[in-house]
Amino acid sequence: MDVRLNTQEQIVKSFYSWLPMVLVALILYGALFVGLAIWLLMQLFGMEQAVAQTVGLPSGVLLLGGLFYIYVKWLLTALSSYQLSLRGNQLIVKGISGRRTIEHELPVNDVKKIHIGTHTHTMQQPASGQGGAKSKAASRLTVVLSNGDYFKLDFAMNAFDNESLYDFFTAMKRKGIDINLNG
């Protein structure tokens, strides 16, 4: 049983709660990149301030737009390559966990619990008003192994089709795995 992935369009739509945070970040980074471009043009090329501002504004905006596009494409490609499968008695999990990529293939008997949602300690709790951070915590899939080790799959609710994910959890529950949905 393979959990179906969302389309790239569905993945983009699933990040709607991040919009306020993204807009603020784009404004702040935009100001930073424009300021940096103007400063570099004045320092490295000896341009006058008025000319540097005229050239620096579009340069900074273009740089920010290009980097944002590259990040979004990378994120969509990464989320589109996720895998969550149950093949016989083997659980296969592939995706992103923090800053690293994970690839686990393990017997179902080694899995104790699967949680989806906010299982964070106090230092990781998002403050009120941080919709994007709350969304990330709510969409995280945590697999707890019998030996006490665990691993997390970030953005699982964004990457996978919800109905297919529910069917997967039902199948895992039938195999005796503790399932906890907190998201």
pTM confidence score:
0.78
Do 31 and 96 belong to one domain? no
Do 145 and 123 belong to one domain? yes
In a domain, 3, yes or no: no
DSSP secondary structure string for all residues of the chain: -BPPBPPHHHHHHTTGGGHHHHHHHHHHHHHHHHHHHHHHHHHHS---HHHHHHHHHHHHHHHHHHHHHHHHHHHHHHHHT-EEEEETTEEEEEEEETTEEEEEEEEGGGEEEEEES----GGGPPPTT-HHHHHHHHT-EEEEETTS-EEEETTHHHHB-HHHHHHHHHHHHHTT-EEEE--
Do 75 and 90 belong to one domain? no
In a domain, 19, yes or no: yes
Asked if residue 48 has pLDDT above 90, the reply is yes
- Higher per-residue pLDDT: 91 or 131: 91
Do 118 and 152 belong to one domain? yes
Asked if residue 81 has pLDDT above 70, the reply is yes
What are 111-162's pLDDT values in tens digits? 999 998 865 444 444 444 444 445 567 889 999 999 999 999 999 999 999 9
Per-residue pLDDT at 138: 80
Do 94 and 134 belong to one domain? yes
Do 139 and 68 belong to one domain? no
Domain count, the chain: 2
Contact 155, 79 (CB under 8 A): yes
Per-residue pLDDT at 55: 95
CATH code of the domain containing 140? 2.30.29
Per-residue pLDDT at 182: 63
In a domain, 2, yes or no: no
What range defines the domain where residue 53 resides? 8-79
